[in-house]
Structure formats: C-alpha cells, structure tokens
C-alpha cells in the first residue's frame, strides 16, 4: 500500500531516534511532487464539498431555518440606537427529529419520491445502456456514412441540459406541441401529458434518455474499439454467429467500461435535478417529483428550511453510498478489481 | 485482401443493410429532431408557434433573434458566459490533468482515498449543497462575482475529468516517462512535455466536458449571481420570460443562441470523443 515498511510505533527507539523523522522526510522527498499535483484539487474539494457536507450532517440534527438563524434580534429604537435582544426562538439541536418527520411522511412525501426516483433511475439507466449499446454496436462496424451517423448521434450531448429540458417541454406542450400534433396527424387523440402521473414521468424520461444516450454510446464505442479484432476473426473462422460473437466477445470485453458507466450513470440520474424540475415541475400535484426535486421544493419554497434540506441531502447520499458499496461487492464477487 | 477479411462488411445482405441504415437514420432523426424543431420554431412569429397547426415554415422572420439580441442584455451575458466557461475550461483541464497524472503514475499515500473521494463527490445533490456553499462564498466575499461560479463549476467537473484522464494516462506506457527521466526531465517536465501531448484526445474530451458544465449550468448561477450585468447566458435568458406565460418565440431563439457556442466546442472536440473516452472507462 505504502512504501513504509518499518513498524509504525516503535516505543523503544534507539538513542537519537532517527527512524521517524527520516522516514517522514523520505516519504516527503519521494512523494512531494505527487502531493503538489493533487493539492489544489484537494483544497477546493475540501472547502467546497467536504466542509459543506459535514456542516450539512450537523445541520440535519438541528432546526435551523431562514427564520431562526440569527442569534440576536435587533430593533431600531426611537433615539436611533439599536437594541439587541437574544432571539427567543433561536435554532437548536433537535436530535433525530428531522429524520423522524421526513421518514414518517410528516413533511414531504419521502417514500413516494423514493419510489418515483427508483423507477426513474432504473428506466433511464436501462434505456441509456440498452440504446447506447445497440447504437455503439452498429457504429462499430465498417459501413458508409459512419462518421456522419456518429457525429449526429452524439449531438444531443452538446446541448445544455436546460435547453433540452425546454425543447422537450415545448414538444410536449398540450396545445401546440409537436408530440400532440403528430398524434393528431396519426388520428390519435392528443394527450394532456402533464395531467397524469405516468405520462408526465414519461416525458421526463424521454428527455433524459435523449440527453444521456450519447455519453453511454461514446463510452461503449470506445470500449469496443479496445477489444482486439483477432478475437472476432478467430471466432468467425470457428463459425460463430453474429449473436454469439456479440455475447461471447463484445459483452465480456465491455465489462470494465460497462460497470463504470452504469455506476456513474446511476448516480447522475438519481441526482438529475434540471430535467424533472423544468420538464414536469412535479405535475400533477407533485406526483412526478423525484427525491432531489421534491427535497428542493419541500425545503426551499416559502421559508427556507436549511436543516430539512440537509436531512434530505444526508438521506440521498446514504442511499447512493449503500448502493455503490453493494455494487462494488457484487463486482468483487465476480472477480472484477475496480 | 484486407478488405475481404474485414469483419461482416462483405457478407452483409441487402436486407441487413437496409435494416442497419434504417435504424441509424431513425436514431439520427430522433437525435436531431428536437434541435431542428426548436430552430424552425425560432424563425416563426409568436402567433405561428402557438397555433396547433403543424407547419415547418410560416411567416419566416428573424424578429425573435433581433429582440433577444437587442432588447435584452444578451451581449453582456454572452461575454460573462464566455469568461466563466473559458476559465473553468482552462483551470479545469490543468487541475484534472495534473491530478489524473499523479494518480495514474505515482503510488503515493492517499492515492486510493482520493480516487474514492472523486466518486463520492458525484453523489452529492447539487440542490442541497447550494446553501452551505453560498455561506462559504459569502464569507470569502465572492458572492456576485465570476470566480465564485468558476470555483463552483470546477467542483462539479474536475472529479469526473481527473478520473477519466487517469484512465487515459494509464494507457500510455510508463516506459516513455522512464526514458524522459533518463534524459534528465523532472516529473513536471515529463508530464508537461511527454505525457500531456500524447493525451490530446482525452484533453479534448475534458475541454468539452468542462466547457459544457460551465456553459449550461443554471442552479449555481441563480444562487450566486445577483445583478443583471453579472448574469451568465443560461440564467440571464430565463429572466425575461415570465413564469406563467412563457414567451415561447423568444425562448426558442434564446435556446438556439445558447446552443451555438456549445455546438462549436463540440465540433472541435467530437473527433476525439471516442478515442478520448476509450481508456477513460476501462479502468476505474
């Protein structure tokens, strides 16, 4: 693991005790440039990600809101001076109250949002991966206009998420959207997409799938190009069918890439804020809300409730941590070192 | 000879060819469709957009663009966005590359935890982090400044980019580093003159990713920027759109204008996208 091989705690060091400082120095001399190279990133992450995280965990055990955050209430007196008194409703430590309130459904709809989030994440990642794999497999063979297809199919990646959200919301507009116009042209009654929970969710999923397939496709295509072509040639000589080659060479060869992108895709989709927030806006009546958007509305609409936001943040992070630990364990069991 | 052994090409039946190209053409249409539809709509006047009749062109006009470009603070926001995105991109490439290189090449204490941290940072919901980050930035006096946005965007983009670049550096043989070291290059010179030029595809992907992160982000921009002349494009363009009666004609024009620069960066990076991400995924 490290280069340090000596016993880390020798209490009976010989006189002069050169061991410890010199080992530290040797470690420093050997690694200082590596540390120097990562230092800026570590500082920025520590200040802007980890400090907020620990503060968030602490806040989730308090009842801090916008209304009770000040320690003193100051009022101007008639003479022009300021009189400050202690805030009687100052925020305080409340233990697990926030968690109880969230998990029992006293505030927000934690379980409903979690359910929607799980459906949303599963369907989106499955479609991303399935479509990405299919398209990558098609693009991985020699044919005419391959370069053209590749550029066009990656194009949605270049569109900023809020623009795609807007574009699809425009398409799914009930009165003049393209989707309903096409349905009408086909002789089907127009659908009021955002009046039903499932059609509303469908619009968001379509948007997110459209947005997310290019990344999967590119990553998988890259993975496919690292598979040695001799394997395919040998298989072909042995008379393996296209499907057999796909199952027995392409899929195993893609395993490392797939595992990484599926994990990343799951995390990103789980926390995908702008799509739900802008496309469905939780319609109808908050039923298409996922955890991050639901938490955002519950905590920040009206008086900003910082402690509630933190509680949701901690819960979301815990779910994802448990998921990735579990995921890694399954991978380990299958012999994947990752 | 080599043409004959090329896998699948010669044996594909006409039916398969039709199916293959048919599927890809359909997929391409779906990929382009929404962008094209917004582009077409942006050329129509408001009443034509709001009609339920399906037309590709109707009373084609550039009035929507003229309005967005002249009646709003568009040029100013555009400049702000370019500044924020350019800095995020430059600093982001630099930070991800050095970090990725260190993690790929040196077995220093703290290496594995750092890799884990990169993954874990991806799990934090941005919406929830906004308030604590706001507090910190306020304490540092950075609220309503562009550095605030640049730093915030770096925290989003750098962990993934460093991870990706690490994978690409792994695929460059270390014998090159050793040869450079024999020639008297220090670790920094080796990195800068030998390894980084070889990693051009991955750097292109990093540039694309960091630029897009900064270009399209709305949540942080809306929280940290307060005055009109500091808005970025993504946030600024939502300002003149009333919440309950969206002016779709201006929105479509604005959407097209926002997408063009991103498309330009994409155009320069797309050649490298596949090879740049190649090794990126193979080893986590």
Instruction: Give the pLDDT of residue B89.
Output: 92
**pLDDT grade for B88, boundaries at 50, 70 and 90:** very high
Instruction: Give the pLDDT of residue B52.
Output: 63
- β-pairing, A72-76 vs A82-86, is antiparallel
Q: Using a CB–CB cutoff of 8 Å, tell me whether A70 touches chain B.
A: no
Sorted by sequence, the CB contacts under 8 Å of residue A111 that are 6+ apart come out as A105
How close A76 comes to chain B (CA, Å)?
25
Residues in chain B: 284
According to CATH, what is the number of the domain B72-282?
Answer: 1.10.3720.10
- Of the partner residues A154, A155, A291, the one whose CB lies closest to the CB of residue B35: A155
The answer to pTM > 0.90 is no
Tell me which DSSP letter residue B7 carries.
T
Angle of helix A291-300 relative to helix A306-333, nearest 10 degrees?
160
Q: Which of B26, B105, B123, B223 to probe by mutation at the A interface, max A CB count within 10 Å?
A: B123
Cross-chain residue pair A48–B127, CB shorter than 8 Å: no
Instruction: Identify the three-state secondary structure at position A83.
Output: strand
Where along chain A do its domains lie?
102-333
Sorted by sequence, the CB contacts under 8 Å of residue A309 that are 6+ apart come out as A295, A296, A299, A300, B127, B128, B131
Cross-chain residue pair A218–B277, CB shorter than 8 Å: yes
- Report ipTM for this prediction: 0.82
pLDDT tens for B261-284 read 888 888 888 777 777 665 444 443
Choice among A2-16, A243-257, B105-119, B199-213 with the minimum mean pLDDT: A2-16
How close B266 comes to chain A (CA, Å)?
6
Chain B residues in contact with A268 by the CB 8 A cut-off are 122
According to CATH, what is the number of the domain A102-333?
Answer: 1.10.3720.10
Chain A residues in contact with B212 by the CB 8 A cut-off are 157-158, 160
Instruction: Give the pLDDT of residue A14.
Output: 44
Query: What are the DSSP E strand ranges found in chain A?
Result: 72-76, 82-86
CA distance linking residue A312 with residue B59, whole number of Å: 50
Cross-chain residue pair B106–A34, CB shorter than 8 Å: yes
Asked if B103 and B162 count as a contact pair (C-beta separation under 8 A), the reply is yes
Instruction: Give the pLDDT of residue B2.
Output: 39
The chain B residue lying nearest A267, using CA atoms, is: B123
Chain B residues in contact with A273 by the CB 8 A cut-off are 125-127, 219
Mean pLDDT over residues B80-84, rounded?
90
Count the neighbouring beta carbons within 10 Å of the beta carbon of residue A108.
22
Question: Phi and psi (nearest 5°) for B172?
Answer: -90, 125
CA distance linking residue B165 with residue A269, whole number of Å: 22
pLDDT averaged per 10 residues, chain A (length 338):
41 46 74 79 81 82 75 68 69 77 78 88 92 88 82 86 84 80 81 82 90 88 82 84 84 82 87 82 77 80 79 87 85 60
Q: Using a CB–CB cutoff of 8 Å, tell me whether A103 touches chain B.
A: no
Residues in chain A: 338
pLDDT tens for B51-64 read 666 677 777 777 77
Instruction: Give the pLDDT of residue A129.
Output: 92
């Amino acid at each position: 693991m490290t280069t340090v091989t000596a016993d880390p705690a020798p209490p009976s060091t010989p006189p002069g005790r050169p061991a410890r400082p010199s080992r530290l120095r040797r470690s420093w001399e050997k690694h200082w440039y590596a540390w120097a190279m990562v230092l800026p990133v570590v500082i920025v992450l520590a200040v802007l990600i980890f400090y907020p995280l620990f503060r968030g965990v602490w806040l989730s055990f308090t009842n801090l809101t916008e209304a009770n955050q000040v320690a003193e209430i100051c009022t101007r007196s008639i003479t022009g001076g300021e009189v400050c008194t202690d805030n009687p409703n100052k925020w305080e430590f409340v233990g697990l109250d926030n968690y109880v309130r969230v998990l029992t459904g006293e505030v927000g709809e934690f379980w409903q949002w979690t359910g929607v989030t799980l459906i949303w994440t599963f369907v989106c990642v499955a479609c991303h991966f399935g479509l990405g794999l299919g398209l990558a497999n098609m693009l991985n063979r020699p044919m005419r206009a391959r370069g053209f297809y590749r550029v066009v199919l990656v194009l949605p990646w270049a569109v900023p998420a809020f623009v795609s959200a807007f574009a699809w919301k425009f398409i799914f507009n009930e009165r003049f959207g393209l989707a309903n116009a096409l349905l009408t042209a086909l002789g089907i009654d127009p659908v009021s997409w955002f009046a039903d929970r499932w059609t509303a969710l469908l619009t968001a999923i379509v948007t997110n799938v459209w947005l997310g397939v290019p990344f999967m496709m590119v990553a998988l295509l890259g993975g496919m190009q690292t598979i040695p072509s001799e394997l395919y040639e040998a298989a072909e000589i042995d008379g393996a069918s296209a499907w057999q080659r796909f199952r027995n060479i392409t899929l195993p060869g893609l395993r490392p890439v797939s595992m990484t992108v599926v994990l990343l895709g799951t995390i990103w989709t789980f926390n995908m804020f702008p799509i739900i927030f802008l496309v469905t806006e939780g319609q109808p009546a908050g039923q298409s809300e996922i955890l991050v958007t639901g938490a955002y509305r519950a905590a920040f609409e009206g008086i900003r409730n910082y402690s509630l936001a933190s509680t949701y943040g901690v819960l979301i992070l815990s779910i994802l941590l448990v998921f990735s630990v579990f995921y890694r364990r399954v991978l380990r069991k299958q012999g994947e070192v990752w | 000879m080599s043409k004959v052994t090329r896998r699948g090409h010669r044996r594909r039946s006409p039916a398969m060819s039709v199916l293959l190209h048919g599927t890809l053409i359909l997929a391409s249409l779906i990929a382009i469709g929404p962008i094209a539809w917004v582009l077409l709509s942006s050329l129509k006047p408001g009443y034509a957009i709001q009609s339920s009749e399906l037309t590709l062109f109707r009373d084609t006009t550039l009035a929507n663009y003229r309005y967005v470009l002249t009646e709003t603070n568009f040029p100013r926001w555009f400049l702000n966005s370019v500044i924020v995105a350019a800095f995020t991109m430059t600093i982001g490439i630099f930070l991800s590359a050095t970090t990725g290189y260190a993690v790929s090449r040196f077995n220093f204490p703290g290496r594995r935890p750092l890799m884990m941290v990169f993954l874990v940072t991806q799990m934090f919901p941005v919406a929830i982090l906004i308030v604590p980050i706001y507090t910190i930035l306020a304490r540092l006096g950075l609220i309503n400044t562009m550095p605030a946005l640049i730093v915030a965007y770096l925290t989003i983009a750098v962990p993934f980019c460093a991870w990706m670049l690490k994978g690409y550096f792994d695929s460059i043989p270390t014998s090159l580093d050793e040869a450079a070291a024999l020639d008297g290059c220090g670790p920094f010179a080796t990195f800068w003159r030998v390894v980084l030029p070889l990693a051009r595809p991955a750097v292109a992907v990093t540039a694309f990713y960091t630029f897009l992160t900064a270009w399209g982000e709305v949540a942080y921009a809306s929280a940290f920027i307060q005055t009109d002349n500091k808005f970025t494009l993504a946030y600024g363009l939502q300002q003149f759109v009333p919440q309950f009666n969206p002016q779709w004609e201006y929105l479509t024009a604005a959407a097209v204008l926002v997408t063009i620069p991103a498309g330009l960066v994409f155009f320069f990076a797309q050649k490298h996208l596949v090879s740049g991400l190649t090794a990126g995924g193979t080893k986590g």
